[in-house]
Amino acid sequence: MKTIILFSFILISNANADCSPKDLTDPDYLKSVGKEGLIKHFQTPRDQDGVGWCGAYAPADSLSFAIGEPISSLDVSINEYANQGANPRTSNKVAGKRLEELRGISPLSATDIARTNGYCPESVIPSNQTSSSNLGHSAILKLMETFQKIHDDYVIKGRPADYCASCTENYEKVIKPSLPGVTADMIKDVLNRNQYDSLASFRDLLNQLCEGRRVKVDPQVDLIYKSSLGSKTIANVIDEAFENNSMPSIGMNTSFFANAESLPGGHGAHELMIVGRRMGTNGKCEYQVRNSWGRGCTYYQPAIAAKCEPEKGSFWMDQDQLQTGVTDVLVIKNERMRAVKEKETIFKDIFNSGSKQTDNDSIFSKLPTESDISSFMGKVSETAAKVAKGISEGVSSIWKSLSNAFKY
């Protein structure tokens, strides 16, 4: 009887340990891992307002967490749309569309483009426009509409080389507060270079703003589909990301948490962040979901709204709800932690040979035998095969994401 009670106690203790409290946005935690620069960023709710760009907003948070500096999701979004336009497989998604009509972003593709181009700091190109520009809700949409109208005006007037952008309506009211570093001359230059293409012009403008300020890092990125998990659960994947000090994002249809009437375009695929964990009152592990819909809770279904935290722009879902609703998890490995672990792995691979060496019998004290060389070459061949398989799977995953996983 005592054995059964003790065993039960151990099981309960382990269950609670697996769901130990975690808050990746807590200022004390961020300080403890050397990421003080993210405190203000994660204390401010995300708001993509009137644009369907969650596929960039969520990964931008994950990238910010990985590199320790807030990066601009507006910059990530526009660069991804420009990439869509240049890719024959996706060009139909942006062809002929006005800036304010752009919808749907592949989180994996957006992340990949950002890694290739480098990240622009949020301080240079603000993406939380609702709060930073004082234009209220739909501030980014207003920015897109205004730049599009400036481009239209430029074309209507015959594309003059001395075009006066500051003479247009809302230049001072919208453009200047939204993009503080922009000048009328910069707009004139990008219009003259790109002429009929408003998307290329706006991307060119953002690139000028961030010239010389882009951050170049290459964190490891894993896109994990629920269908490939086997016996593992979505909660297992999230917990593993937490253990590695990574902030995962999840793909989930809005029908699992939002009211249909709050979404004019109807339900669809959405990308959100997972930033915390706690034990729920029902004994199930709950996870804090950081959305990009601002501070309100009125968008959500009653059960979700009951666990909404408007001051954080987030809500809580338990492990079963996530298991049912989540389609995929995007994990961007912590760049600093990854670098340390890779160095540790290389060190162990070099010095941990088959037999243990002593200080007086180092691995450099004897020349390798024919058997040693044969064994080494076998390991090289095995490693090369694994790398080739990883590359193949990675390419396949990227194309699958580009084809099917556009989030709004």
392 domain-assigned:
yes
269 domain-assigned:
yes
214 domain-assigned:
no
Both 182 and 113 in a single domain? yes
Check residue 342 and give its pLDDT: 45
Both 236 and 294 in a single domain? yes
CATH code of the domain containing 329: 3.90.70.10
Both 228 and 123 in a single domain? no
Both 254 and 329 in a single domain? yes
pTM of this prediction exceeds 0.85:
no
Dihedral sign of CA atoms 142, 148, 152, 155 in order: positive
The two tokens of residue 222 are: 């894993």
Both 78 and 104 in a single domain? yes
Phi, psi of 273 (to 5 degrees): -100, 150
Among 178, 209, 240, the domain boundary falls at 209
Domain boundaries, position 166: 72-209
Both 234 and 264 in a single domain? yes
Any idea which of 69-73, 121-125, 138-142 has the lowest mean pLDDT? Answer: 138-142
Q: Within its chain, how far is the Cα of 1 from the centroid?
A: 51
Number of domains in the chain: 3
Both 191 and 294 in a single domain? no
Residue 384 pLDDT level (bands cut at 50, 70, 90)? low
78 domain-assigned:
yes
Q: Please, which contacts does 172-175 make with residues 24 or more away whose CB atoms are closer than 8 Å?
A: 174/133, 174/135, 174/142, 174/143, 174/146, 175/143, 175/146, 175/147, 175/150
58 domain-assigned:
no
* pLDDT tens-digit map of 64-103: 999 999 999 999 999 999 999 888 888 888 988 999 999 8
270 domain-assigned:
yes
7 domain-assigned:
no
For the chain, the residue count is 408
The runs of H, that is alpha helices, within 229-334 are: 234-243, 302-305, 319-325
Check residue 131 and give its pLDDT: 53
138 domain-assigned:
yes
